[in-house]
Amino acid sequence: MEHFIQTNARCNSLPSPTKVDFATELIRTTQNLALTARSFRFALDVKAAYQVVSEDEVGIPELPEVETVRRDLEALLGPSAVIRRVRLMRPDLRFPIPPTLPRKVARQRVLAVRRRAKYLLIETPAGILLSHLGMTGTWREVRPGERDRHDHVLLELEDGRWFAYRDPRRFGILDWIEPGMESQHKLLRHLGPEPFTDTWNGEYLWRKSRRRLVAIKVFLMDQKIVVGVGNIYASEALFRAGIRPTRAAGRLTRAECDRLTVAVRDLLKESILAGGSTISDFHGAGGADGDFQKTFRVYDREGEPCLQCRAPIRAKTLGGRSTFWCSKCQR
Ligand SMILES: [Zn+2]
């Protein structure tokens, strides 16, 4: 019986991956040729620009989906999993994988599977295995010896079970964090609070946003302010809070900050309860798209009547991302 942890069925059939692939190839070529840091930075920018476009197209795993994967992986591994060895089938994913990683994680007990923003943290006494799913990454239990060509990392347990990290587009990340270094890790140290912690409250948002002229929707999607608010969640949370996405962040009242922090938390909680599928889990063609669409109150509903007041939903591009709101319900 093959267990299967996947966040997003649609990821396997991306509509137009050519540009992202091109950018990824550009990055690899740049790395291989050891060109200047400047051209490497350019390649990253190209990829980032195309990834922004692609996120809306494919609905990459958002925080609720990653939390669902975390829970599934924790349950599958069980309380006494010991890693016999890790095998790297290639030296890199989005970034090079530390070559010392297999040696460090070998014979380690899995103490916990945690999540920070969209990073999975597989904790062992020797350190932490960091895994980011990128756009198409999945962790799954596979039959020992079985291997798909997109299985780039194999995790063999002492009890004989095998887990594979499968990632056709290879935008995922695998890294190793030494004990005590988590808060200083380059991918984690700039992250804002988790939306489910006490730190994320109206007072915090109000304080952070003072004198900021950037649109509140763009501000809300800044991972340094709070983690896990993707493009769809930002539009939906602002609708719930009755705040227009184009307003300057610094102009929000303290009461509006209270409403918005609650709306973000509730929305993400509901999505996790639904297995990460309420808001951003897309389904394949002919699948359950109808159910999924019903959960949107404003997102992707341009010109359709507001579900509260019947005024037509408006849309514009804000910070490069599609944005939707009701001009009557949101002030
Ligand atoms: Zn309305």
Of the listed 17, 62, 94, 244, which one is catalytic? 62
| Strand arrangement, sheet containing 127-132 | 112-116, 119-124, 127-132, 173-177
* Distance in angstroms (rounded) separating the CA atoms of residues 83 and 156: 6
Instruction: List the structure tokens of 165.
Output: 């990290």
pLDDT for residue 26: 52
Instruction: Give the C-alpha separation, 109 to 166, whole Å.
Output: 22
Q: How far is the CA of 216 from the centre of ligand 1 (A)?
A: 19
d(CA 182, CA 22): 32
Report how far ligand 1's centroid is from the alpha carbon of 311 (Å): 6
Strands ordered across the beta sheet of 162-166: 108-109, 82-88, 151-157, 162-166, 138-142
User: Which one from 10, 17, 61, 170 is the annotated catalytic residue?
Assistant: 61
Closest CA to 231 of 305, 320, 314: 320
Cα(307) to centroid of ligand 1, in Å? Answer: 7
Does 141 participate in catalysis according to the annotation?
no
Which of 118, 240, 301, 314 is an active site residue? 118
pTM above 0.85, yes or no: no
Cα(282) to centroid(ligand 1), Å: 25
Q: What are phi and psi of 315, to 5 degrees?
A: -145, 145
262, 200 contact by CB (below 8 A): no
pLDDT in tens, the chain (331 residues): 444 454 433 333 333 444 555 555 555 544 444 343 444 444 444 444 444 434 444 447 889 889 989 999 999 999 999 999 999 999 999 999 999 999 999 999 999 999 999 999 999 999 999 999 998 899 999 999 888 999 999 999 999 999 999 999 999 999 999 999 999 999 999 999 999 999 999 999 999 999 999 999 999 999 999 999 999 999 999 999 999 999 999 999 999 999 999 999 999 998 888 865 444 333 322 233 334 445 789 999 999 999 999 999 999 999 999 999 999 999 9
Residue 71 near residue 143 (C-beta atoms within 8 A): no
Provide the pLDDT for residue 36. Answer: 39
Q: Using the mean position of ligand 1's atoms as its centre, give its distance from the Cα of residue 209 in Å.
A: 26
Specify the pLDDT at position 44: 47
Strand partners, 157: 83
Pairwise CA distance, residues 194 & 200, whole Å = 7
CB-CB contact of 263 with 241 (8 Å): yes
pLDDT of residue 295: 76
> Which segments of 61-196 are extended strands (E)?
82-88, 108-109, 112-116, 119-124, 127-132, 138-142, 151-157, 162-166, 173-177
Which is the catalytic residue, given 115, 170, 217, 321?
321
Bridge partner list, 114: 121
> Of the candidates 198, 75, 177, 169, which has an alpha carbon nearest to the alpha carbon of residue 119?
177
Which residue has tokens 């904790």? 123
Residue 118 a catalytic site member = yes
CA of residue 295 to ligand 1 center, whole Å: 16
| Confidence (pLDDT) at 23 | 55
Q: Give 97's DSSP letter.
A: P
CA–CA distances in Å: residue 101 to residues 87, 155, 178: 9, 12, 10
Alpha helices (H) in the chain, listed in sequence order: 18-33, 37-58, 63-77, 101-105, 202-209, 216-220, 231-241, 254-273, 289-294
304 CA from centroid of ligand 1 (Å): 11
**Residue whose entry in the numeric block shows the structure tokens 């380059």:** 186
CA of 236 to the centre of ligand 1 (A): 12
